[in-house]
Structure 1
Amino acid sequence: MSLLQVINPATGEHIENITETNVADVPLMYEKSRNAFQSWSQLAVEERLQYLKKLKEVMVQEMDAIAKTIVKDTGKVPTEALVADIMPSIDAVGHIIKHAKAMLKPHKAKTPLLLIGKKSYVEYMARGVVLVISPWNYPLQLAFVPMISALASGNSVILKPSEVTPLVGKCIEQLFQKAGFPEAVVQVAHGGKELGAAFTAGNPDYIFFTGSVKTGKIIQEVAAKQLIPTTLELGGKDPFIVFADANLKRAAKGAVWAAFTNSGQVCMSAERMFVERTVYDEFLQLVKKETEILVQGTDENADIGSMTFPGQVAIVKQQVQEALEKGAQLESGIHPEKWDKQSMFIKPIILTNVHMDMEIVREETFGPVMPIIPFDTEEEAIILANQSEYGLNASVWTQDSHRARRVARQLISGAVTINEAIVSVANHYLPFGGAKHSGIGRYHGEQGLRMFCHEKAIVMDRGKRNQEIQWYPYKGTYSQFLQLFQSYFAKKTRWGTFLKSYVRLLKK
């Protein structure tokens, strides 16, 4: 029996051990999930939502305990656990409770005139077993939202949370148990890459993955062989564009939060700052001032917690060192050579004299680093922002609304915020997802429910006529069809000719 050790990354404290799921149990878990799906999918949407209502009640009652669990498992500060992980999760449940019935009910579709007498509908049918593989940076929200979306849509769910934050995975499992969900409708499997690979290869009906581009490509390759649909929420290298007419104090405060929240371990972090040259020095001084007053720690008054995963600390260190060796200037923070090797805390770093060929600009950093690059024109800012393999999120800072919308339209990105950063993901009415290497698919909003369903087209006829005009025999119908179509598709429909041709075809 293998155990996952739960270590508080901020303190190094060993909290507990969690039993890993045996890879040999994967087929049995799929069998249980498929059996549970048979009854769960047959419930009316309203009945499934009753379980979500109870889940929401449980989460509200245990909000403080959940926050403390997240803090222990990730090293983030309590306020961020509450505001950025728990609140969006509960809000998502409330959104689904309010809108799922309308989003999932069959709805009429228009029927073309040539199919006169028929009615058309679209219905939504649950797919089956949904596999959710979630990351460690927001271990509650990034597991919870796809899970509840899939469940509301009638699917059963298997969650494989990150082995880096198993305590939150266990917490999620307990929340669904306390909410009284039927057996095996939700199952949580604890383990690492080997377990995730086994579940991916186990032929689920849908895979929702949030994580690295590298792992996402592996999952997509495996899924493609079985034609398993996927949603991939991957990395980002989000540009933060500041024009000279922006409210610089607001932009500076926004930049510091967007770059350093959750110690920069956010796929939507502002990882590339592009600042118009005429205000570059002023902006630099403002962000340095805002950065230097930040408090690192673990209590409720701290602004920035620790890093969560030791491997990520090594990546951040390597990227910062490479930038400094290539001529970057350290404006704030500590040189990597002087970092405490025993600590998971990284003091926020600001870099200038940064060039586009540096890894710190090209590769996802996922740490508290702010590289700042000047630009001279609007066109240059757009080119620099789009010069990336990623396209998840971007932000534009200007008081010229026309410029803001113009620039936003040209950015290759799944989302753009104007005089704001990151927050689009908190709006459950908006689709969320990336372009380029930032992923495939969208969730939240209507897409977030309907993507977990087969979209079924239904055409209905009353069945009273013995014949349709397009049925056999074809003898003698070509000229009549020609006249019918020419009259219908003419620049101005010739209704008299159309109706005569249609009646003749009905009488064939």
Structure 2
Amino acid sequence: MVADIAYLQEQQQSISRMQALFESQRAAFRKAPMPSADDRIRHLKALKQAILKHQQTLITAISEDFGRRSADETRLAEIMPSLEGIHYACKHVKRWMKPSRRKVGLAFQPAKAEVVYQPVGVVGIIVPWNYPLFLAIGPLVTALSAGNRAMIKMSESSPRTAAVLEQLLSEIFPEEQVSVVTGEADVGVAFSKLPFDHLLFTGATSIGRHVMRAAADNLTPVTLELGGKSPAIISADVPLNDAAERIAFGKGVNAGQTCVAPDYILCPRNRVEEFTQALFRQFAQMYPSLRDNADFTQIINPRQYQRLQGYLSDAAEKGARILPVNPANEELGDTRIIAPTLLLDVSDDMKVMQDEIFGPLLPILPYDSLDAALDYIAERPRPLALYYFGYDKAEQRRLMEQTHAGGMCINDALLHVAQDDMPFGGIGASGMGHYHGHEGFLTMSKAKGVYIKQRYNGAKPIYPPYGGALLKLVYKLFLR
């Protein structure tokens, strides 16, 4: 009872602090509503130097949050893309900020028109646990590039990373510019209810619905990066080793705990067994051992581990063939390690085919024609990513034009997310809105149209009292 009271008091203190931070950021924004390009670039460069300075501390903290997280995966999937995003923004932010000249119709001359890109104000960023650095820094870079203030709510499942990031950011930004909020679910709910000028959430679709409802009360625009079941399609003639090695990489990174990881494979029926063998070999080559292999990441916590084990049990009970890739035949029961596992003979009534997997389990489904494969995808909620493996360019174009997904790779997996010059975002159940690069700048800016007229007023012929030769001429010229 005493512990419960202490917990509630701690959460309420966090909420009170969070509300005070929001008010201080809003007040600070009113005093400086349009930071210069030089200021924005200076802030971004300071962020870059802080990440480099704390690189090893971040790697250690993330690994501790997971129990074991590959240091190379943290460098490749979190630190590198964060730094590259900063480089890209610094290079382009001056051009993004320039007002865009627009045409003025003949009837409204002499005048000019332009679109001015203003910061929206205070941006809220809700960060998941699976990539706690990149999915905090990426949106923060977008917010700072657009000239905004930012509050970052870190996941309660990555407390060590949150503590390091809070320390890192406090060294270079005052709290009224960038601040980190921590706390359990109650704090997260309160965070989503703040009247932000923009709110970006990355996480589960089910939670995204709650975030959007909370934001609606304040008419806060949202960017939702959700997830879903991202398919990978194997063509009838692609070399299977080519597809297998790239899918194994895309699924193996972070032990499949990636929102754009391949969630299931659609493979021509007559190639399923051969492809399964190729994929098995690739996983075994990448991860020859699991238990003490620093390259293979643990499942984040016991709850997620039990969820994935439940998927496996459910699939086995309903007739699936379960093929774990455990080359050293190690005992993994007392760890939170789950071997890369291929599932055959799966059906839609299995949980593994109903929910986003978010782990190293990979169902392989047969298809009899490409039309049937596309129908299968189209009948389901639109995914965050879609992958196609095949070298026929006409078929590639067909897939690009006839499928819907947040993003797409052809003959690769995951790497579209790391392209700074492309937008990243979902569609339908996988999310809404975009960030990264220029699209991110636009998302977190207000594109304000401005019509500019100087001394001469060319509109006088349309002022009352109506009538006269000039107005008749106007009608003759423009009512046609």
* TM-score under structure 1 length normalisation: 0.87
Distance 1:481 1:191 in 2: 64
Post-superposition CA distance 1:50-81 (Å, at most 9, x none): 12112212322332332222222223211111
Q: AA paired with 1:457?
A: G
1:97 aligned residue: 90
2:250 aligned residue: 258
1:113 to 106, 116, 122: 106
Report whether the alignment pairs 1:175 with 2:168. yes
1:7 aligned residue: none
Q: CA deviation at 1:2?
A: 9.2
1:454 aligned residue: 446
1:21/1:189 contact within 8 Å kept: no
Distance 2:188 2:14 in 1: 11
Distance 2:204 2:458 in 1: 58
Q: CA deviation at 1:20?
A: 9.6
1:326 aligned residue: 318
Q: AA paired with 1:460?
A: I
Distance 1:408 1:2 in 2: 55
1:49/1:97 contact within 8 Å kept: yes
Paired residue total: 468
Paired residue secondary structure (1:469): helix
Q: CA deviation at 1:484?
A: 1.4
Q: CA deviation at 1:327?
A: 1.4
Q: CA deviation at 1:314?
A: 2.2
2:476 to 475, 483, 490: 483
Post-superposition CA distance 1:5-52 (Å, at most 9, x none): xxxxxxxxxxxxx99962222321112212332345343121121121
Distance 1:233 1:225 in 2: 20
Q: AA paired with 1:251?
A: A
For the pair shown, which has the larger CA radius of gyration, 1 or 2? 1
Q: AA paired with 1:315?
A: R
Cα gap change, 1:21 to 1:366, in 2 (>3 Å): farther
2:123 aligned residue: 130
Q: CA deviation at 1:349?
A: 0.8
Q: AA paired with 2:451?
A: V
Distance 2:12 2:194 in 1: 18
1:80 to 73, 78, 90: 73
Q: How large is the RMSD of aligned CA atoms in angstroms?
A: 2.4
Distance 1:370 1:422 in 2: 15
Q: AA paired with 1:240?
A: A
Cα gap change, 1:173 to 1:36, in 2 (>3 Å): farther
Q: AA paired with 2:110?
A: G
Paired residue secondary structure (1:343): coil
1:68 to 36, 56, 60: 60
Paired residue secondary structure (1:366): coil
1:281 aligned residue: 273
Q: CA deviation at 1:467?
A: 4.2
Post-superposition CA distance 1:107-137 (Å, at most 9, x none): 2112223323211100112111111110000
Distance 1:414 1:360 in 2: 21
Distance 2:148 2:78 in 1: 24
1:505 aligned residue: none
Q: AA paired with 1:319?
A: Y
1:229 to 221, 230, 251: 221
1:31 to 23, 30, 33: 23
Structure 1 unmatched ranges of 5 or more: 4-17, 490-508
2:395 aligned residue: 403
Post-superposition CA distance 1:304-334 (Å, at most 9, x none): 2100132222221222222222211112258
2:210 aligned residue: 218
Moved more, 212-221 or 251-260: 251-260
2:149 aligned residue: 156
Q: AA paired with 1:91?
A: E
Report whether the alignment pairs 1:349 with 2:363. no
Q: AA paired with 1:322?
A: D
2:193 aligned residue: 201
Moved more, 459-468 or 195-204: 459-468
Q: AA paired with 1:318?
A: G
Paired residue secondary structure (1:347): coil
Report whether the alignment pairs 1:393 with 2:385. yes
1:427 to 384, 397, 419: 419
Moved more, 230-239 or 379-388: 379-388
Q: CA deviation at 1:479?
A: 5.1
Q: AA paired with 1:110?
A: K
Distance 1:209 1:328 in 2: 35
Distance 1:194 1:277 in 2: 48
Post-superposition CA distance 1:136-183 (Å, at most 9, x none): 0000001111112112212111111001002112222222233x2234
Cα gap change, 1:224 to 1:137, in 2 (>3 Å): same
Cα gap change, 1:467 to 1:85, in 2 (>3 Å): closer
Q: AA paired with 1:90?
A: L
1:432/1:444 contact within 8 Å kept: yes
Q: Which has the higher contact order (CA 8 A, sep 6+)?
A: 2
Structure 2 unmatched ranges of 5 or more: 5-9
Distance 1:208 1:144 in 2: 12
1:76/1:298 contact within 8 Å kept: no
Q: AA paired with 2:269?
A: R
* TM-score under structure 2 length normalisation: 0.91
Distance 1:358 1:390 in 2: 19
2:54/2:168 contact within 8 Å kept: no
1:436 aligned residue: 428
1:104/1:450 contact within 8 Å kept: no
1:8 aligned residue: none
1:43 to 35, 48, 53: 35
Distance 1:133 1:468 in 2: 52
Paired residue secondary structure (1:383): helix
